[in-house]
Amino acid sequence: HVYLDNAATTPMHPAVVQAMTDQMMNDFGNASSTHFFGRTAHAALDKARGQLASTLHTKPDHIVFTGGATESNNTAIMQTARANAGRGKHIITTAIEHLSVLKPMRTLEAEGFTVTYLPVDENGEISLADFKAALDDETILVSIMYGNNEVGSVMPIAEIGALLADHQALFHVDATQAFGLIDLDPAKLGIDLLSASAHKLNGPKGVGLLYRSDNVHIKPLLQGGEQESKRRAGTENIPGIVGFGTAVALLNQDAKAQKQADFLQFSHQITAALTAADVEFHVNGNLEHQRLQHVLNLWLPGASTYALQTNLDLAGFAISGGSACTAGSLEPSHVLTAMYGEDSPRISESIRISFGTTTTAEDVDAFAQALIKIVRRLLARKQK
């Protein structure tokens, strides 16, 4: 089986598994306990916090460990909006955010906040003009993803950060898909809050982080104990956090840049094979633009997402019809809908292929050949 669904999750790096196993075997203590076992667990927590802080060019005190990007997004959005409601009730986000951003937005709308959902063009990109037009004195929070999980488009984060420098609004960025691929310096980018998740970069599931800048006070979403400097209650998932720290320590800037280049090459390999075979396809998004290169979203006119996905699965290739979180439902992709309109055939005839550190050129080649065969078969069947 070939795994080409790395935007959904990634396989754990063996060094991550080893570090987590060592942690679980030798050091089960509660990091809040004051005895030897607790102090040892706390040292592991501190080490991982340092690793995450260094990746984000920040201080350990700016990293809050969470149960994943979903929790980070929920906390960043709902808690800062509620805490700042006295200064305004307007929020700006985009139409193509992950549901862990969009659903908290709907909760806030029900609480009386007004949310502007910035539209995207056919490249899956927002316009700065739309952003500027939406920003007003009532805006207290801007939440915009770094890069999209279905099509790989990136948002003008640095530009928005600069525009918000003298504005009261806090700037939250869901960097879940970008974290392992792009070197991120939130302070330089003007970001106040940033979410990431370990399982997207060969770390474990169920652990993430919320970065906060100096000026941001996080009121915990989960209430209880005083863990994470009172910013997130609950006994820390030390094995997961150690795995997260190990996973980021394995990445460095060069490795990230190289991955982006390799992944773009994989996309070109697939599109070249389809072109050579004379199979009609269109990229959803724009490979020529700056983007997260691990995601390739293709429209294959005449072939349904469902048929493509199930036939590829039978042939041994794991891809996705969109984001994994909604894959079980038959809901059309809100991302493709925002890009092409609800009547576009792209919405029901597209697939997402996503590359990772374990993807090889041979796998990609085998995938392209399987895809060509399957599309031809599906189109031939249709013509009968």
* Residues acting as catalytic residues: 325
Please return the burial class of 361, using the count of CB atoms within 10 Å of its CB with bins 0-12, 13-18 and 19+: exposed
The interface region with ligand PMP, picked from 18-26, 159-167, 171-179, 273-281 by CB under 6 A, is 171-179
Residue type, 162: A
Beta bridge pairs of residue 299: 282, 350
At residue 377, the 3 state secondary structure works out as helix
Classify residue 332 as exposed, middle or buried by CB count within 10 Å of its CB (0-12, 13-18, 19+): middle
58 contributes a contact to ligand PMP by CB under 6 A = no
* Least distance to ligand PMP, CB of residue 335, Å: 10
Q: How many binding residues for ligand PMP (CB under 6 A)?
A: 16
Minimum Å distance from CB 196 to ligand PMP? 9
The rounded distance, in Å, linking the Cα atoms of 350 and 41 is 46
> Which segment (27-35, 62-70, 286-294, 302-310) binds ligand PMP by CB under 6 A?
62-70
- Distance from chain centroid for Cα 340: 22
Map the footprint of ligand PMP across residues 110-149, applying CB under 6 A: 145, 149
Least gap, CB of 272 to ligand PMP (angstroms): 27
Rounded CA separation 202/356 (Å): 9
Distances (CA, A) of 206 to 8, 62, 198, 227: 13, 20, 8, 17
* Residues 256-275 within binding reach of ligand PMP (CB under 6 A): none
Which of 174, 192, 236, 349 forms a contact with ligand PMP (CB under 6 A)?
174
**Distance separating the N- and C-terminal Cα atoms of the chain:** 31
Minimum distance from residue 38 beta carbon to ligand PMP (Å) = 27
Q: Least distance from C-beta 154 to ligand PMP, angstroms?
A: 12
C-alpha distance from residue 373 to each of 269, 311, 312, 316, 355 (Å): 16, 10, 10, 13, 21
Choose, by CB under 6 A, the member of 70, 139, 227, 309 that binds ligand PMP. Answer: 70
CB of 80 to ligand PMP, least distance (A): 17
Cβ proximity to ligand PMP: between 311 and 357 the closer is 357
Q: What is the helix (H) or strand (E) element at residue 272, kind and residue range?
A: helix 253-276
Pairing label, strands 350-354, 295-299:
antiparallel
From the list 16-24, 63-71, 111-119, 268-276, the region that binds ligand PMP by CB under 6 A is 63-71
Nearer to ligand PMP, 40 or 320 (CB): 320
Interface residue with ligand PMP among 176, 237, 305, 359 (CB under 6 A) is 176
Residues pairing with 171 in the sheet:
142
Count CA atoms within 13 Å of residue 41 on its CB side: 20
> What's the token pair of residue 314?
């039978």
Examine residue 150 and tell whether it contacts ligand PMP (CB under 6 A): no
For ligand PMP, the binding residue among 161, 208, 220, 239 (CB under 6 A) is: 208
Contact region with ligand PMP (CB under 6 A), list: 69-77, 106-114, 310-318, 359-367? 69-77
Residue 15 or residue 99: which is nearer to ligand PMP going by CB? 99
74 lies in the binding site for ligand PMP (CB under 6 A): no
Is 255 a residue that touches ligand PMP (CB under 6 A)?
Answer: no
Q: What are phi and psi of 17, to 5 degrees?
A: -60, -45
Q: Which residues pair with 102 in a beta bridge?
A: none
34: exposed, middle or buried (Cβ count in 10 Å: 0-12, 13-18, 19+)? exposed
Residues 293-332 that bind ligand PMP (CB under 6 A): 323, 325
Q: Interface with ligand PMP by CB under 6 A: which residues? A: 68-70, 73, 98, 100, 145, 149, 174, 176-177, 197, 199, 208, 323, 325
